[in-house]
Structure 1
Amino acid sequence: MADEAPQLTAWQPDVHGVREVLHARFGRHAYPMHAHDSWTLMLLDLGTVRYNLGREEHGSSTSLVTLLPPNVPHNGRATGPEGFTKRVVYLDDSLFAPGLLDAALRNPSLEDPLLRRRVHQLNVALSRRTESLEAASRLALIRERLHTSLGSSAGPGPSRAGLAHDLRDLLDANVVEGVALEDAAQTLHSHPTHLVRAFTREFGMPPHLYLTGRRVEKARRLLLSGETPAQAAVGAGFYDQSHLARHFRRMLGTTPGRFARRPA
């Protein structure tokens, strides 16, 4: 199975706060460092995964619920030859209190059987595509449980490198247009080299790769909304469709066209 092409199903449900659902089976594909503008709520149904979140390494297995905070770079790779199967719900960053971000950074994978059962039930409801009220109700219970589980451990977070976070905010505000390094340095009153070093040290990846990942993220949403790969490429800030396809395959192990293909 590890040699087979990735199998992915992705869609945008009509449920408040849910940006995207992705169910996927990966063999040897390894996610490079990237970031989402949403919370990532993940279950593994097969295999185990190691990942770096910011500057720390973590692991996830089928008994855990993983919650990754928005705008924090991470990667992911299977730890065994069987690969991994996952179900992911991408949630709007407004659903959780700001204080949970640092708590999730410290403890992103939770051993909580009740929470795992609730996240499984949410995925089942979302998969039906017709049970919006049930999905919204189950999401409300999950939000409450996560605030309880993580909120109890939320204390003063690790120190934040202000310059790196300022550059990240600047990139987030200009995903499609992009930001020239010299312009960013002038805006943030810093030297370009210092900016790159600060960002890479804080997030484990250079600014240009962060921006590319955010553009792939935007292209995913455009594809799922019905735009063609060519339209999504331009709308997300890529030069053309082939430019998008190269980075899309690197990120997700498949092409934009196959990602957006509706299941029969």
Structure 2
Amino acid sequence: MAVPPEVSAWRPRVPGVVEVFHAHFTEYAYPMHVHEAWTLLIVDDGAVRYDLDRHEHGTPHDTVSLLPPHVPHNGSPVTAHGFRKRVVYLDATHLPDGLIGAAVDGPDLRDAHLRSRVSRLHTALGHPGDELEAESRLTLIAERLRARLRPTAPVLAPRTSPVLARTLRELLDAHVTPGIGLDEAARLLHAHPAHLVRAFSGAYGIAPHQYLMSRRVDRARRLLLDGRPPSEVATTTGFYDQSHLTRHFRKLVGVTPGRYARTGPRPGPPRA
């Protein structure tokens, strides 16, 4: 009996991301087709065989596949139990059309570090409210992809800029509750997004999105101890919703917001 496919698709509020697509197929085979966007693909279980530009390719577990736009390809499972994949479709914001030829020649990148980064990107894309984290991760992924597709071009590490890092920190401090996108920060500070992330991380030992979430959690702690309910605290401190607050709060504090608010000493009886 055929196993029905499992599919999940959505469009996050992250510049450059056209669609996120997660699927588990056992028997379905894609016919030849094209996409207008870049297809960044990882396979978590099983394997996919596909043809691109009349050449056969495959997707072992340590591979990141990057299929260029406008180039026909197909896809089918290699094993009887099918495959489970995660795909993010990207426009030309991060990957220009000038890289299409190199991607056609070598779409499968054996790069465990890159694959790990793409996996963490999907985790961030699956959580509304973590758009800054997703933007930061995508910026560094795109930088690595461009370097892999242009192996003859020297990749110069950007200089660590304490002034730039401090200016970005001040910008994040001014936008703790509303937040700010990485592209907007880069525009305001006249710097490349990847340079911003590296400068900040190098100066403070923490990524910009981690810094912003830390500030929000600190504010949430104070409000919770004031007796405000977690649902109200979440919206007041810039989280997407209460579950978004709970996930980051538990990660940084070790307990849920509700439990944290109940850990203090109970007030004693009124004095006579």
| TM tier, smaller | 0.5 to 0.7
The residue identity in structure 1 corresponding to 2:124 is A
Q: Does 1:71 align with 2:70?
A: yes
Change (3 A) 1:98 1:34: same
In 1, Cα distance between the equivalents of 2:68 and 2:96?
11
1:12: which partner in 2? 11
Identity within the alignment, %: 50
Moved over 2 A (4+): none
Mapped contact 1:37–1:93 kept (Cα < 8 A):
no
Distance 1:138 1:53 in 2: 27
Partner of 1:81: 80
Pair 1:110–1:153, CA change in 2 (3 A): farther
Equivalent residues in 2 for 1:12-161, closer than 5 Å:
12-152=11-151
* Structure 1 residue aligned with 2:168: none
Aligned alpha-carbon RMSD (Å): 1.4
| Secondary structure at the counterpart of residue 126 of structure 2 | helix
Q: Which has the higher contact order (CA 8 A, sep 6+)?
A: 1
| 1:68-123 deviation per Cα after TM superposition (whole angstroms, max 9, x unaligned) | 00011100001110100000000002321333111110110110011001100100
Cα deviation for residue 55 of structure 1 reads: 1.4
- Give the TM-score, by structure 1 length: 0.56
Aligned residues: 153
Higher Cα Rg, which structure: 2
Equivalent position SS for 1:40: strand
Give the superposition deviation at 1:63: 1.2
The 8 Å contact of residues 42 and 115 in structure 2, kept in 1 or not, is answered as yes
The unaligned stretches of length 5 or more in structure 1 are 155-264
8 A Cα contact 2:44 2:83, kept in partner: yes
The amino acid that maps onto 2:43 is: L
Cα distance in 1, alignment partners of residues 70 and 97 from structure 2: 13
- Asked if structure 1 preserves the Cα contact closer than 8 Å seen for 2:16 and 2:90, the reply is yes
Task: Give SS of 2:103's match.
Answer: helix
